[in-house]
Amino acid sequence: MLSLHSEPTVASVFAPRTTIDADGTVEGYASLFGEIDQARDMVMRGAFADTLASRGIRRIPMLFQHDPSEPVGIWLELREDFRGLFARGRLIPEVARGRELISLLRAGAIDGLSIGFRASRARIDPKTRIRRLHAVDLWEISIVTFPLLTGARVRAVKHATSKAKLSYARTRAKRAG
């Protein structure tokens, strides 16, 4: 990844990126403002404002590897902050791929996030050939193996427990007590 700020260190590249808690929730940055990705795109602050306001989070699917036939969860929160597009969602453990992703994320085998979008307003700098994205139409956010933007990663994973297991455990506890 090219950066306007600083080069990554060995410690930052190999630092653990995920932690495990309790409910199937994933969170991280799907896009970072001012960072140049491997396609030479740079998302600018405010680029997601219009699409988030008009589309809403329920119309932005959580996919695996940008495959529309592989929905794996739902987004609970999408917002721009000073750093980029923050995403928090829940993998659905009743979906086979969702269960697999929980295991892969927990093991650190996969942790990338990537946006699927159409540029609504962009300008290519003729000197650097960097495309600055001022407004994007966000179609989806995927959990991926290789994100184009190296820093777009899942930062936390909370382990999912299915409702069926919880209900069974509660029933057993009530009978025992």
pLDDT at position 15, please?
45
| pLDDT of 157 | 77
For the segment 49-59, what is each residue's pLDDT rounded down to a tens digit?
999 999 989 99
For every residue of the chain, DSSP letters joined together read -EESS-PPPHHHHHS----EESSSEEEEEEEETTEE-TTSEEEPTTTTHHHHHHH-GGGS-EEETTEEEEEEEEEEEEEE-SSEEEEEEEE-TTSHHHHHHHHHHHHTS--EEEEEEEEEEEEE-TTT--EEEEEEEEEEEEEESS-SSTT-BEEEEE----HHHHHHHHHHHHHH-
Please give the average per-residue pLDDT across 74-90, as a whole number. 96
Domain count, the chain: 1
Residue span of the structural domain in which 132 resides: 2-6+15-176
* The model's pTM: 0.78
Compute the mean pLDDT over every residue in the chain, rounded to the nearest whole number.
Answer: 83
Point out the least confidently predicted range of 6-10, 138-142, 168-172: 168-172
Most confidently modeled of 13-27, 34-48, 157-171? Answer: 34-48
What is the tens place of the pLDDT at every residue in 140-157? 999 999 999 988 999 877
**Per-residue tokens: 122:** 């962009």
Residue 156 pLDDT? 76
> Which tens digit of pLDDT belongs to each residue from 58-78?
999 999 999 999 999 999 999
Here the CATH number for the domain that contains residue 69 is: 3.20.16
**Is the pLDDT score of 114 beyond 80?**
yes
The whole-number pLDDT of residue 106 equals 87
What pLDDT is stored for residue 164 in this prediction? 40
